[in-house]
Amino acid sequence: MYAVIDLNELAAELGEHFNKREIDTYTGQCTNCWATVTQTMNECPDCKIPVVWLKSRVWEDEFGSAKARIAQLRMVTPTTSSGEYLCATARVQAFSKKSDDIAWAKAEHWFGEAAMRSVVDYVTKDKRGRAAMAHALATARKKLREEKPTKPKSEEDFTPTTKML
């Protein structure tokens, strides 16, 4: 969880009262606890969640690119051991989306850790970084679509009804 404060939205809210000469002095409110946050703060002083200012020269001078920080905050740490192995082998910090982590965990559930590690080894022979992650995730999703083992049907699941007779 993180808060994003956009100076353009702040200017739109203030309308004609917005002064461009004093743009570096404006403050915003944390979207979580409504505490006052200045452009020189990287986190909320009350609830301690990360704060990112969009279009702020002061914030970008002090903390770097706002888009890069948002991408970093959105990263999802792997929940499975083969997911950790994938990230380590691909030399990536984490999954970029929660849906990627869920897809990888689902594939590991169906095929096992050894099968997913073999996918990682195959993919990372010639690729590293996000390209390796994308290739591994595409392979896992393809395996789920095409090779997903079905649960064995028992006789209890099939009971004839009068309409079938």
pLDDT digits (tens, 9 = 90+) for 106-146: 999 998 899 999 999 999 998 899 899 999 999 999 988 88
Report pLDDT for 158. 47
Tell me: pLDDT of 159 over 80.
no
pLDDT digits (tens, 9 = 90+) for 6-52: 888 888 888 888 778 788 888 888 888 999 999 899 899 999 999 99
Instruction: For residue 101, give every residue at least 6 positions away whose Cβ sits within 8 Å of its Cβ, in sequence order, or none.
Output: 76, 77, 78, 79, 83, 95
Report pLDDT for 137. 93
Diameter of the chain by CA atoms? Answer: 83
Tell me: pLDDT of 161 over 70.
no
- Residue spans of the domains in the chain: they are 3-73, 81-147
3-class DSSP state of 6: strand
Q: At what angle do helices 130-147 and 81-90 cross, to 10 degrees?
A: 140
Q: What is the DSSP string of 48-66?
A: --BEEEET-HHHHHHH--H
The reported pTM is 0.61
pLDDT digits (tens, 9 = 90+) for 58-111: 889 888 898 888 888 888 889 999 999 999 999 998 998 889 999 999 999 998
Tell me: pLDDT of 151 over 80.
no
